[in-house]
Amino acid sequence: MSFRLIEMILKPIASQDAAHGSLPTLFAAVSPQAVAGGYYGPDGPGELKGYPASARVNPVANDVEFSKRLWSETERLVGTKFDV
């Protein structure tokens, strides 16, 4: 089975166009229902597509040690030290 055929089968199930993909960001920015510090994504199965809703935050996003390593590696790769 070719990649193109797989893409044709999966695309309508697991993705959405850019306009719909931007809705969670717009919801967070301008909706009176958005909660400060909230995290929003699509409400469909697997949070792959759908309309804005509260979304699951991946546990690694709250891992302080991982965040420090990521920040250090980013500074190293871009060759700039950021004072925060």
Q: What is the DSSP letter of 15?
A: -
User: What's residue 31's pLDDT?
Assistant: 97
Total residue count of the chain as it appears in this document: 84
User: What's residue 13's pLDDT?
Assistant: 83
The pLDDT tens digits for 5-50 are 888 888 888 889 999 999 999 999 999 999 999 999 999 888 989 9
What mean pLDDT comes out for the span 53-79? Answer: 95
User: What's residue 18's pLDDT?
Assistant: 92
| Distance from C-alpha of 82 to C-alpha of 70, rounded to nearest angstrom | 13
User: What's residue 1's pLDDT?
Assistant: 67
pTM of the entire structure?
0.67
| Distance from C-alpha of 48 to C-alpha of 2, rounded to nearest angstrom | 23
